[in-house]
Amino acid sequence: MSNKKELTCIGCPMGCQISAELDEEGHILSLAGFTCKVGENYAKEELTAPKRMVTALVRLSGGREPLSVKTSKPIDKKLVFDCLRAAATVSVLRPVKIGEVILPHVCDTDVDLIATSEVL
């Protein structure tokens, strides 16, 4: 018995509709509908090890506005809420530069939370 999945590729503006057939263990049996290698790779990753970029706000000590942060690269989808909980515990001192590491190795991964704005 197989399982069918439908995906919309986000690798480029074309938004290809990709159909996948998986076996009982979740292994890919077939993929159809992608028009390039980007779409094929996107579907394979999304079906076997989905990842997401995470954006959040952290407290900025002595300020009313929070500091925007993001993950330095996509993180395992299963860790998104853990990442957000970790960000909620952070309070940052000024000054902050864009790209500065705010929380290294979030959720015990090789991914850092980095600043996306500058605060002097």
User: What are 26-78's pLDDT values in tens digits?
Assistant: 899 999 999 999 999 999 999 999 999 999 999 999 878 999 999 999 999 99
86: domain CATH number?
3.10.530.10
Is residue 97 packed enough to be buried (19+ CB in 10 Å), middle (13-18) or exposed (0-12)? exposed
Question: Is residue 15 assigned to a domain?
Answer: yes
Question: Is residue 103 assigned to a domain?
Answer: yes
The SS3 assignment for 91 reads strand
Per the structure, the complete domain to which residue 27 belongs is given by 3-49
H or E stretch covering 45: helix 37-48
Q: Are residues 39 and 59 in the same domain?
A: no
The predicted structure's pLDDT at residue 64: 83
Question: Is residue 120 assigned to a domain?
Answer: no
- Mean pLDDT calculated for residue range 83-105: 97
Q: Are residues 38 and 66 in the same domain?
A: no
- The predicted model scores a pTM of 0.83
Q: Can you name the residues that pair with 71 across neighbouring β-strands?
A: 113
On the question of pLDDT at 10 being above 80, the answer is yes
The SS3 assignment for 49 reads coil
On the question of pLDDT at 100 being above 80, the answer is yes
Question: Is residue 94 assigned to a domain?
Answer: yes
